[in-house]
Chain A
Amino acid sequence: MDLLDYAFMQRALLAAVLVGITAPAIGIYLVQRRQALMGDGIGHVAMTGVGLGFLLSTSPVWMATGVSVLGAILMELIRWYGRTRGDIALAMLFYGGMAGGVMFINLAPGGSNANLTSYLFGSLSTVSESDVTAICLLAGFVVLVTLGLRRQLFAVSQDEEFARVTGLPVRALNLLTAVTAAVTVTVAMRVVGLLLVSALMVVPVAAAQQLSRSFAATFAIAVVIGVTVTIGGTVTSYYQDVPPGATIVLLTIGAFVVLTALAAPLARRHARTAAAARPAPDPAECAIPATRAPDGKVGV
């Protein structure tokens, strides 16, 4: 494996694997709460952070993390307090974030939109040593939250109203989800880019759903798909000299299409075996009118 001889490729592959794990891991909760495009919104906001990083000559990754975490918290607050025009407020946040990014980076000494491009669409080969450290720390946080609190996050994302009655701190968990999504966006920023990150959060989950019936299996399959496509995309971009972010996203969509095509016959076979296992379909439901009759309550 000659590609592993290069330090930049080792860093790129490590970053790619971490993105392949974390993006679907938080994405599954966003999909579950039907906020699939939240990652996209955070990506827009993170651009302001990248711009600020250049302007202030600090690490764009950490600056983007800070700004997108603030943006995610703001989005969550808009969701609580915003009544009818919440979508307008979100639109302003998204496009304000994007415009801020372009503005700041052009104000930065020697900065131009060319610098921004590597953050918009990913640039694996320029992932630095310090980027990798940041990505590792942030990815650790995302894994800790998405796995450690999986039952709580599942309950809140499934049914917020019910979760409140089980005594879960619903608001805190919603905020944590938003913050974790923001952190994931910045983890993925160097690999697939801010404009494509949402694809890696959503599409592996959608692809996994074609095969699974349970949340746990969807989670596991989505992460396997995520890691497979990020490694596949990185390796492909090394040999074919194509942009890694776009390659990864196209591979993910390809996986979705293939799994969807495979799932239909699988589902039919599953239905047949299930029907065979249950010779008399739902006997209880047929028996019940008979038990009702003796009560004389209903003329069946």
Chain B
Amino acid sequence: MDTETVISLRGVRADLGSRPVLRGIDLTVGRGEVVALLGANGSGKSTAIRTIIGQVPVSAGEVELFGTPRRLFRQWARVGYVPQRTTAEGGVPATVTEIVSSGRLSRARFGVLRKADHAAVRRALELVGMADRAKDSVNALSGGQHQRVLIARALAAEPELLIMDEPMAGVDLASQEVLAGTLREQVASGATVLLVLHELGPLEPLIDRAVVLRDGCVLHDGPPPKALGQHALPGHDHVHPHAPTRTGLLS
């Protein structure tokens, strides 16, 4: 592959309890690529990205981020993560700015936010169109607005790589469009994106490659199934460094 590899999974296996969830998956994401992980519920797509961020331990295989084994990887400011929206509300009220500011901690020394950091937080809020709600409590937001806040939190560190787990789940149409627009800008400025999706939806034109999982194995790795029409649209001029032919995809 001629472009720099940002994420690399080789023969990754992971178990939850005694149940194998990933049964040896290979996945490579090159710089500037937008890759969607697709699959039914329980196919292992969320687990796959949680092995990348180190939330789920790997029982076999290798995970690398920016060419560094995940265990040794320390440059977390290069990674923006948007978790599946389940635990976003804490037991105490917090404003949009407070939530987004915690995304900047990876760039702040000793947790002290300087003027530049506050400016980055404001920029991230503007990117998702939530600057006018900066001082509102996140508890007062709709599901879609909440998701925009979580994406702003990931963008606050100005990451090169965005990892998102179902960013469109439970998001109203208006917010979906805002999110798609935000993502488009990020991709245009060179960001690499790996996202778990249930369906391609409004993000379809952005996706370079789709990796479909089933029962913890890679079933398909190539152009997204239905996206051919959109790929022809003007403004969509990504390089497509497709992965080599898959072999040995498992029992």
Contacts and interface: CB of A to CB of B under 8 A. Distances in A.
Interface string A134-175: 000000000000000111101101111111111110000000
Given A149-B111, A167-B76, A161 B55 contact: yes
B54 interface: yes
A231 B113 CA distance: 35
B93 A215 contact: yes
Nearest to A157: B90
Interface stretch (A232-240, A249-257, A287-295): A287-295
A216 interface: yes
Contacts of A164: 53-55
Nearest to B175: A285
Nearest to B77: A167
Interface in B156-179: 157, 163, 172-174, 177-178
B92 A159 contact: no
A291 B177 CA distance: 10
Contacts of B54: 164
Interface string B77-98: 1010101000110111111001
B92 A28 contact: yes
A215 B98 contact: yes
Contacts of B113: 151
Contact of A213 (B79, B137, B163, B202): B137
B83 A161 contact: yes
Q: B interface, how many residues as a size bin?
A: 35 or more
Given A164-B55, A166-B106, A284 B76 contact: no
Contacts of A83: 17
A186 interface: no
Contact of B102 (A162, A213, A216): A162
Nearest to B129: A284
B90 A158 contact: yes
A159 B138 CA distance: 14
A36 interface: yes
B106 A162 contact: no
Interface in A75-101: 83
Interface in A56-110: 83
B92 to A, nearest CB: 4
A68 B94 CA distance: 30
A212 B93 contact: yes
A291 B181 CA distance: 12
Contacts of A168: 105-106
A158 B99 contact: yes
Interface of A: 28, 31-34, 36, 83, 149-152, 154-155, 157-168, 205, 209, 212-216, 218, 284-285, 288-289, 291-292, 297
B135 A214 contact: yes
Given A166-B157, A209-B93, A284 B174 contact: yes
Given A152-B111, A285-B174, A288-B178, 7 more contacts: A83-B17, A158-B90, A161-B53, A162-B83, A167-B74, A215-B94, A292-B177
A34 B105 contact: no
Given A151-B101, A284-B174, A288-B174, A165 B81 contact: yes
B103 interface: yes
B249 to A, nearest CB: 28
Interface in B112-162: 113, 129, 135-137, 140, 153, 157
A13 to B, nearest CB: 29
A154 B98 contact: yes
Which of B53, B77, B92, B177 gathers the greatest number of chain A CB atoms within 10 Å?
B92
Given A164-B54, A167-B74, A167-B106, A213 B136 contact: yes
A36 B113 CA distance: 29
Given A151-B102, A154-B98, A215-B98, A34 B91 contact: yes
Closest 4 CB pairs of A and B: A167-B76, A155-B102, A213-B137, A165-B81
B102 A154 contact: yes
A292 B99 CA distance: 30
Contact of B91 (A31, A291, A297): A31
Nearest to A29: B92
A278 to B, nearest CB: 8
B81 A214 contact: no
B16 to A, nearest CB: 11
Contacts of A285: 172, 174
23 contacts: A33-B90, A34-B90, A34-B91, A83-B17, A149-B111, A151-B101, A152-B105, A155-B102, A158-B90, A158-B102, A159-B87, A159-B88, A160-B87, A162-B153, A163-B102, A165-B79, A166-B77, A168-B106, A209-B92, A213-B135, A215-B98, A284-B178, A288-B178
Nearest to A284: B129
B55 A205 contact: no
Given A167-B74, A289-B173, A162 B91 contact: no
Nearest to A34: B91
